[in-house]
A and B are shown apart, each in its own frame.
Chain A
């Protein structure tokens, strides 16, 4: 019974924690500009995430080590320092993005500009980490995140064009705006495969002391949780394609975002959009700030954890506090939310190989995982999707910057 409850909670965490400003902006931009033509990127990104999350949970359950700690022990500090620094930097950028997303939601509700909310949101995120222990935090984040189910409801209510959705599963480079199409594909792959989710998942598994008996639950949670999460982002894409698509719009203004739900639902849709954006980004910000602290603590072999009072893991608490301060400076600088999000997600795509390839090597290590090491198929699929993400981002980011 307890196991079933854990599995259900795990799935809820996967679904509730899935949508955040990255996937919402990616879906809105893709839907507005290319209709359902980028469906394949969401499916590939989701597939890659399911596989990575399953691997991260299996790694924690079998080895009892964190992914980052094991990377350092196996490859050495000299090799890991630069990749981990790059991931940490992107992590701070994503944290700034999530705080901005929550501040934008408050602007939508109150009319007071988002820059004014940055500091308050940052404080709210910090307060959650400071006071809530791991289980509570996880449940708060996932239950708040469930508000994003509204996208699924609306997508079904609008009756999705199933044939166009199926056609979108096969990539066709459009005749015009090919570079933008590739750039958005990179953004989508970055937003869905985000390494922060699997670092968070693996750190949580170590904190909750998983063992080999957790492996079955891990499979169910990663497939169902991340799979349903992917369906949620596909639903957002469908809504965006139906509401904003086919008008030659280019998503440049974040004030256009609430239209997604406002057009089908009226003023209540506007409020529902603000609520789901705000809650999803608040939860995601808390998760990403914790990931920054996990990264540093696990690299340097510190005591860490979110199960005890902050003073029990003082350096760990200091790192997430500083991460939130640094990220809120980016918010106060007033970077445009849509630009910031697209840049953060494309940078995530760029750092995917350094986050994922060393991890794949660990997952194939017989000494560490014995009979539970990776099968060939999982390796090939993850490596191929990551390679695609990085090729797309290397080719299209310069074009995007040059094109404004």
Chain B
């Protein structure tokens, strides 16, 4: 990891990849924690439509959250990856595989199983 990471320029909105270099979405939000001594600490990365929509405005965020809760394959849950699971930051953000991978690509899995694989030739 580089010595200095500029949070908004080098981290937020970068593509996330897993250990096998498969795309897993983008860093849609960064969760910061304010320590007692006043320093900020990055605790997690958020990914998903709800986080993105919140960035564009509160109303849109609420609408998308309601839709995602009602219809989304993740039930409106925002995917948070603890920062310890982030292995590298560069032109891409590398995260550990395993459980994170499944949650990050839940929509892809849903689309494949419920729509695409059911159409002949898919």
Interface residues of A (CB under 8 A from B): 65, 69, 72-73, 76-78, 81, 130-131, 300-304, 309-311, 314-315, 317-318
* Residues from chain B with Cβ under 8 Å of A314 in the complex: 108-109, 111-112, 115-117
Known interface pairs A76-B8, A77-B28, A311-B112. Does A317 touch B122 (Cβ–Cβ under 8 Å)?
yes
Q: Please state if A315 and B111 are interface contacts (CB–CB under 8 Å).
A: yes
Number of interface residues of B (CB under 8 A): 27
Q: Please state if A65 and B91 are interface contacts (CB–CB under 8 Å).
A: yes
Which residue in chain A gives the minimum CB-CB distance to B122? A310
* Residues from chain B with Cβ under 8 Å of A65 in the complex: 91
Q: Indicate if B15 sits at the interface (CB-CB under 8 A).
A: yes
Q: Indicate if B64 sits at the interface (CB-CB under 8 A).
A: no
Question: Complex formed: what's the CA distance from A72 to B13 in Å?
Answer: 6
Q: A77-B13, A130-B119, A310-B122 are in contact. List 12 more A-B contacts (CB 8 A).
A: A72-B26, A73-B13, A130-B121, A301-B24, A310-B119, A310-B121, A315-B107, A315-B108, A317-B111, A317-B122, A318-B111, A318-B115
Question: Complex formed: what's the CA distance from A372 to B23 in Å?
Answer: 27
Which residue in chain A gives the minimum CB-CB distance to B52? A77
* CB 8 Å contact bits of B79-117 with A (1 = contact, 0 = none): 000000000000100000000000000011101100111
Pick from B25, B52, B116: contact of A317, CB under 8 Å: B116
- For residue A228, give the distance in angstroms from its CB to the closest CB of chain B: 35
Question: Complex formed: what's the CA distance from A130 to B120 in Å?
Answer: 10
Cβ < 8 Å to A, chain B residues 14-48: 14-16, 22-26, 28
* Residues from chain B with Cβ under 8 Å of A77 in the complex: 13, 26, 28, 52, 55-56
* Residues from chain B with Cβ under 8 Å of A304 in the complex: 23
- For residue B46, give the distance in angstroms from its CB to the closest CB of chain A: 12
Q: Indicate if B78 sits at the interface (CB-CB under 8 A).
A: no
Q: Please state if A302 and B23 are interface contacts (CB–CB under 8 Å).
A: yes
- For residue B3, give the distance in angstroms from its CB to the closest CB of chain A: 16
Q: Please state if A302 and B108 are interface contacts (CB–CB under 8 Å).
A: yes
For the complex of A and B, the 4 pairs showing the least CB-CB separation, nearest first, are A314-B112, A301-B26, A314-B111, A301-B15
- For residue B71, give the distance in angstroms from its CB to the closest CB of chain A: 14
* Residues from chain B with Cβ under 8 Å of A78 in the complex: 55-56
Question: Complex formed: what's the CA distance from A304 to B8 in Å?
Answer: 25
Q: Indicate if B12 sits at the interface (CB-CB under 8 A).
A: yes
Which residue in chain B gives the minimum CB-CB distance to A301? B26
